[in-house]
């Protein structure tokens, strides 16, 4: 549970950065495009597309943008075809980094990612070099005011719904699931009357790396550089940064 809390803090800061950069809609549109391209444009019969649309709506993405991404995928309006790639590597101090990519030009993207690693004292590695350090999990968040049960009773309800565990944060209860149970747990919680604030599939590090100030700054610079690339959808890492260190970095 403690590891999840560290991940949650990292994720919250990352999400805030994405929103500031104004790139979140573009990244979500690519996710919607790929989901619709692979499974069709009807969210009722395409769970991946339904999840991406829910994620987009929770980020206040306009319906027009969502519809346009679906139409492009199903009608090939712009002739663009995106490819999904995962790059793995190391930041300063041996920090594990995973980068999820959606690109229409993998040669361009490979060069951009490699350059981001090299200029920030990192190394792009082979497939599988760090992925074993992460667990793929579903995370479903429910606002705390939605839960009227005691924590013990809510824990039993989460288990009944198929969830692995949950943790209490300042504003939410976060339920963790195995990937193949993600949709079932979410549907079960909705059937019990809960409103889901956010839900997503993610990569949670098994262990975290705590570095000195200089190496921490290099890794944060690497993460920022990667997230600034248009083709990068997500950056997962195992760097542990406390609030004081992070505030010093951003300021």
Every domain range in the chain assigned CATH 3.30.70.980: 83-132+207-237, 133-205
What predicted TM-score, i.e. pTM, was given to this entire model? 0.76
- Which residues are 236's β-sheet partners? 98
Instruction: Using the CB atoms, write b or e for 126-154: b if 16+ within 10 Å.
Output: eeebbeebbeebbbbbbeeeebeeeeeeb
Residue ranges of the alpha helices (H) in 22-46?
24-39
Confirm or reject CATH 3.10.105.10 for domain 133-205, answering yes or no: no
Q: What is the pLDDT of residue 6?
A: 55
Residue 169 has what pLDDT?
80
pLDDT at 48: 82
Run of H or E residues at 233? strand 232-237
Question: What is the reported pLDDT for 3?
Answer: 47
Can you say how many angstroms the Cα of residue 98 is from the centroid of all Cα atoms in its chain?
11
CATH topology (fold) of 18-75? Arc Repressor Mutant, subunit A (1.10.10)
Per-residue pLDDT at 226: 93
Taking the C-alpha atoms of residue 60 and residue 17, their distance in angstroms, rounded to an integer, is: 16
> Distance between CA 53 and CA 28 in Å, rounded?
8
- Give pLDDT, residue 247: 66
Q: What is the pLDDT of residue 78?
A: 58
Spatial CA neighbour of 113 closest among 222, 21, 186, 236 = 222
Ranges for all domains in the chain classified under CATH 1.10.10.200: 18-75
**pLDDT tens, residue by residue, 190-218:** 899 888 888 888 899 999 998 888 999 99
Helix (H, G, I), strand (E, B) or coil at 111: helix
CATH of domain 83-132+207-237: 3.30.70.980
Of 136, 96, 92, 141, the C-alpha closest to 118 is: 92
DSSP assignment string, 171-229: SEEEEEE-GGGHHHHHHHHHHTTPPPSEEEEEEEESS-B---HHHHHHHHHHHHHHHTS
Q: Which residues of the chain have pLDDT under 50?
A: 1-3, 21
Q: What are the backbone angles phi and psi of residue 4, rounded to the nearest 5°?
A: -65, -40
């Amino acid at each position: 549970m403690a590891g999840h809390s560290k991940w949650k803090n990292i994720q919250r800061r990352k999400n805030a950065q994405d929103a500031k950069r104004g790139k979140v809609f573009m990244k979500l549109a690519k996710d919607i495009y790929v989901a619709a391209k692979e499974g069709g444009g009807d969210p009722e019969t395409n769970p991946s597309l339904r999840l991406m649309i829910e994620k987009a709506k929770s980020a206040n993405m306009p319906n027009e943008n969502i519809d346009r991404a679906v139409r492009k995928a199903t009608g090939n309006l712009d002739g663009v075809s995106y490819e999904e790639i995962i790059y793995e590597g190391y930041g300063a101090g041996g920090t594990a980094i995973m980068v999820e990519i959606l690109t229409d030009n993998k040669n361009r993207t490979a060069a951009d990612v490699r350059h981001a690693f090299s200029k920030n004292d990192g190394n792009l590695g082979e497939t599988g070099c760090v992925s074993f350090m992460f667990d793929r999990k579903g995370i479903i968040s429910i606002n705390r005011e939605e839960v009227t049960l005691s924590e013990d009773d809510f824990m039993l309800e989460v288990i009944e719904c198929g969830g692995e565990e949950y943790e209490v944060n300042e504003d939410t209860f976060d339920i963790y699931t195995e990937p193949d149970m993600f949709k079932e747990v979410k549907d079960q919680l909705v059937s019990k009357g809960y409103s889901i604030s956010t839900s997503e599939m993610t990569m949670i590090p098994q262990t975290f790396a705590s570095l000195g100030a200089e190496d921490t700054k290099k890794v944060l610079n690497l993460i920022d550089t990667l997230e600034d690339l248009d083709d990068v959808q997500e950056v997962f890492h195992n760097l542990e940064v406390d609030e004081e260190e992070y505030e010093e970095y951003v300021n």
